[in-house]
A and B are shown apart, each in its own frame.
Chain A
Amino acid sequence: MSWLAVPRDILASFGDIMKFFWAVIKEVAEGSAVRFFGETLRQAGILIIGSALVIWGMAFILGLTCGVNGAYFARSIGSPQIGGSFSAICDLREILPLAFGYMMSAKVGTGLVAEIGAMRISDEIDALEVMGISSLAFLCSTRLLGAWIVLPFMYIAAVGAGFVGSYLAVVQQVSEVSSGGYFLIFWAYQNPPDLLFSLIKGMSMATVIVLVGLYYGYTASGGPVGVGAATAKSMVLNTVAVHFLSMIGTMVFWGANPRAPIGG
């Protein structure tokens, strides 16, 4: 029976995680987070002050990388002026959702595990329950709603940071195309639905990351050492989930339709 133990454990913990996800989402849907709206706004503020700059920085660096690759790729096929098409597609559709997912799981996901896990092992969550406040509503649903309020705007600003990075790399650094020529191609290869699809991709990653962080923090045990171990474990699930959701998003939104201004 021992060879069945590993998959059975994985399935069991997956079920636990899904049950927890459902409980938190139900709390938000029933309006528990709105009852603690002050706390929701405070969590949203913490997210802006603590994480915005790091996420934009990551998006900027990956925008630069994408731009450099696009510029050299366009040169290699003999038409450096189409560098904008590569960076438009690479940035908006693939790299920026990934950059957002990586940095969300590194900064926000592990941060939530450390914070809520510390509350769990110093029995603050039990104290909350004793005082008659539902900990799921007060700690978890407020953080999820706060993330939903702030992150769409943060994501779109991150897209902007990535675009600036690509522009700097293609036009100012490699500089084989004029600024006007770059933007002509760059804007031709994207339209508002693409931004919306990219936003949906990024937000589904962000939702899963916040919920995973809350789960591992909420169920932490074993003292400060246990919190550290739970923080490390949350990253395993987060990185796999980010790549998996990225693939699903690409398949659903662009899988059957390249959405490129070529041909009839």
Chain B
Amino acid sequence: MGGAVDRAYLPVKNALEQVGDLMILTGKTLISAVRPPFPYGTEFVQQFYFLLKLCWFPLIVSMVTLSYGAPGLQAGNFLEIFGALDRLGGFFVLAVIRNFAPFVTAVILAGVGGTAICADLGARKIREELDALQVLGVDPIKNLVVPRFLALMVVTALFNGFAILAGLFGGVLATLTFGAPLGPFFSTLLSNATTTDLWGSLLETAIFGAIIAIVCCYKGMTASGGAEGVGRAVNQAVVISMLGVFAFNYVFIQTLLATHPEISVVK
């Protein structure tokens, strides 16, 4: 009896404790990001460059292939039945700017950038470098977590812009596959795109970056010993950050669509 209760109770307690720890880490990160002194400038630039170098190629390849296949061919075929292939540009506002560009940016930044950050911090944790930093009086949150948090937020939001461009390139390829002219594609694209879509997309991805950074830093800094330790931490970090990002995406896109009816008017 006691065993059964424990089996049900311990995982729940463990999960709730981790959620609480994540919240505490978020609060501490935000406070130490704005409270002087600001020693994290160099580390911020290094992390920014590191993420840029690591993620640009997977991002571009993934975004072009995905938007050529999913909205390009699938919706293009559909519109061609109606003889309305020029509307593909208008559909790309919904598909790429509002949905797939944030999706793919989040998956690449969580899968490629977040895992690398988690593996890096996990390595420092089990080599006891983090403890050594604390002994030296260096705050690991201010010097390690804050620059990664800011870098991921900025890089994710900026990469979203490149993802949109790559996605539109996929749409151009799809239009050319159907042998249609490009003029109508861009004309319906530009007449349907709104500023709200763009800032919504950027705000969304910046928050994605914050979620990924907090989860990956937390999992890296709490990696426990053993041969499997760091690998297990990376595994959990990427699962939690993807679930968190997509759950947040649903809430965000729902709120955006419901509060801005003007963006879902076909022009």
Contacts and interface: CB of A to CB of B under 8 A. Distances in A.
A225 B230 contact: yes
B242 A250 contact: no
Interface in B62-80: 62-63, 65-66, 68-70, 73-74, 77-78, 80
B250 interface: yes
A223 B233 CA distance: 15
A93 to B, nearest CB: 6
B230 to A, nearest CB: 3
Given A231-B119, A243-B104, A250 B70 contact: yes
Contact of B78 (A107, A224, A255, A260): A260
Contact of A244 (B65, B123, B230): B65
A7 interface: no
A27 B223 CA distance: 35
Contact of B231 (A58, A93, A98, A227): A227
Contact of B264 (A73, A113, A118): A73
Summarize B's interface: helix, strand, loop or mixed: helix
A102 B62 CA distance: 12
Given A58-B242, A232-B118, A247 B230 contact: no
Contact of B228 (A64, A68, A115, A248): A115
Given A238-B111, A254-B74, A258-B77, A227 B62 contact: no
Contact of B115 (A68, A232, A244, A257): A232
A208 interface: no
B116 interface: yes
B126 A61 contact: no
Contact of A110 (B77, B223, B225, B235): B235
B61 A240 contact: yes
A190 to B, nearest CB: 13
B141 interface: no
Contacts of B230: 224-225, 227-228, 231
Contacts of B69: 94, 246-251
Nearest to B121: A228
Given A244-B65, A250-B69, A254-B74, A239 B228 contact: no
A232 B249 CA distance: 24
A221 interface: no
Contact of B227 (A58, A103, A113, A227): A227
A69 B81 contact: no
A90 B61 CA distance: 21
Interface string B107-127: 110011001101100110011
B52 to A, nearest CB: 15
A125 interface: no
A264 B82 CA distance: 12
Q: How large is the interface on A (under 10, 10 to 19, 20 to 34, 35 or more residues)?
A: 35 or more
User: Counting chain B CB atoms within 10 Å of each CB, which of A115, A229, A263 scores highest?
Assistant: A229
A89 B66 contact: no
Given A76-B265, A227-B228, A106 B111 contact: yes
B231 A117 contact: yes
Contacts of B45: none
A118 B238 contact: no
Contact of B243 (A54, A105, A121): A54
Contacts of A248: 69
A114 B81 CA distance: 48
A200 interface: no
Interface of B: 58, 61-63, 65-66, 68-70, 73-74, 77-78, 80-82, 94, 98-99, 104, 107-108, 111-112, 115-116, 118-119, 122-123, 126-127, 223, 225-235, 238-239, 242-243, 246-247, 249-250, 253-254, 257, 264-266
What are the nearest 9 A-B pairs in CB distance? A114-B231, A228-B230, A247-B69, A232-B115, A258-B77, A228-B119, A250-B69, A118-B228, A243-B62
